[in-house]
Amino acid sequence: MSIIAVSDVSYKYREDAGEAVKNVSFEVEEGEFLAILGANGSGKSTLAKLINALFVPTSGSVTVCGIDTRDESRVWDVRAACGMVFQNPDNQLVATIVEEDVAFGLENLGVAPDEIRRRVTEALDAVGMGEFGKSAPHMLSGGQKQRVAIAGVLAMKPRVIVFDESTAMLDPVGRAEVMNVVRRLNREAGITVLWITHFMDEAAQADRILVIDGGSLKACGAPRDIFRQTALLREAGLDVPEMTALAQALRAGGLCLPDDILTVDEMVVELCRLKSKT
């Protein structure tokens, strides 16, 4: 059974407003790394909040770990099973000391003090922040703060973590730090990841990509299949990976290249192959 099932979901912020999310359906398998790609205002953040039961669908249904998010009595079960990391690292840390912040969610769940202590240490180690337990959040870099936020979610032992543009405000170093931690959690701890972003290079690392535009699902597939649909990506206000665009220009110039080249390495291999033929 899939861990998340979104079925024909629509959402309106107000009765008289347009739909921020329109008839969206998809499923996520346990252990999957799914990227949701969309421009600002495409509805991707709304979708994230629907999965965490912060919003309840106007119509349709969202099921997380078998729990319907409309079931008000089980809202806290949904949130414990499906953690969320937000965009601004400053606005999601509650406590003045890192380890206290990581403990926050567990304290809310009523976990016993000794167990909290154990899980906090474990979670901080898992994100490589073990030595920062006693630090103050405002002394950390953006990437470090985001890793603390991840530890705070991780300590609650969720099966799914939704990242809502969690790297958008970070510098390249911070982005890489966070991306590495998340990929490791996905591979090694088997945590299902929903990665919401407008960065191509990040989405390229996912197992599968959903493209969302104007609140609707426009495409769904493996990164290679998505990126070769350059017209669709441009239409959705997204970037086309540079090497894919270059490959297209070269194909237009008469070169015989595959249409799903993503990286510089692949391009070098292909071009060298062509060169050896001439």
The mark string for 27-56 relative to another protein (x by CB under 8 A, - otherwise) is: ------------xxx-------x--x-x--
Q: Which of residues 227-266 bind another protein (CB under 8 A)?
A: 237-239, 242-243, 245-246, 249-250, 253-255, 264
Q: Which is nearer to another protein, 45 or 186 (CB)?
A: 45
Give every CB contact of residue 135 below 8 A, 6+ residues apart in sequence. Answer: 97, 98
CB of 143 to another protein, least distance (A): 9
User: Would you count residue 219 as binding another protein (CB under 8 A)?
Assistant: no
Distances (CA, A) of 89 to 118, 175, 176, 225: 24, 12, 15, 33
The C-alpha atoms of residue 39 and residue 37 are separated, in whole angstroms, by 7
CA 170 to chain centre: 15
* Residue 222: count of CB within 10 angstroms of its CB: 12
Q: What are phi and psi of 260, to 5 degrees?
A: -120, 35
Q: Which is nearer to another protein, 8 or 262 (CB)?
A: 262
User: Would you count residue 153 as binding another protein (CB under 8 A)?
Assistant: yes
CB of 113 to another protein, least distance (A): 5
Only one of the segments 21-29, 97-105, 122-130, 218-226 lies at the binding site for another protein (rule: CB under 8 A); that segment is 97-105
Only one of the segments 1-9, 17-25, 135-143, 219-227 lies at the binding site for another protein (rule: CB under 8 A); that segment is 135-143
Which residue's entry shows tokens 């979708």? 47
Q: Which of residues 110-129 bind another protein (CB under 8 A)?
A: 110-113, 116-117, 120
With CB under 8 A as the contact rule, the residue among 63, 92, 146, 186 that binds another protein is 92
Strands (E), the chain: 4-12, 19-28, 33-37, 59-64, 67-68, 82-85, 160-164, 192-197, 208-213, 216-221
Q: How many residues of this chain bind another protein (CB under 8 A)?
A: 72
Q: Which is nearer to another protein, 28 or 156 (CB)?
A: 156
* Residue 79: count of CB within 10 angstroms of its CB: 21
Q: Which is nearer to another protein, 36 or 153 (CB)?
A: 153
Distances (CA, A) of 98 to 95, 164, 167: 7, 21, 20
Q: Which is nearer to another protein, 187 or 273 (CB)?
A: 273
Q: Which of residues 158-187 bind another protein (CB under 8 A)?
A: 168-169, 171-174
Give every CB contact of residue 78 below 8 A, 6+ residues apart in sequence. Answer: 52, 53, 64, 65, 67, 69
With CB under 8 A as the contact rule, the residue among 96, 125, 222, 258 that binds another protein is 96
Only one of the segments 8-16, 66-74, 104-112, 214-222 lies at the binding site for another protein (rule: CB under 8 A); that segment is 104-112
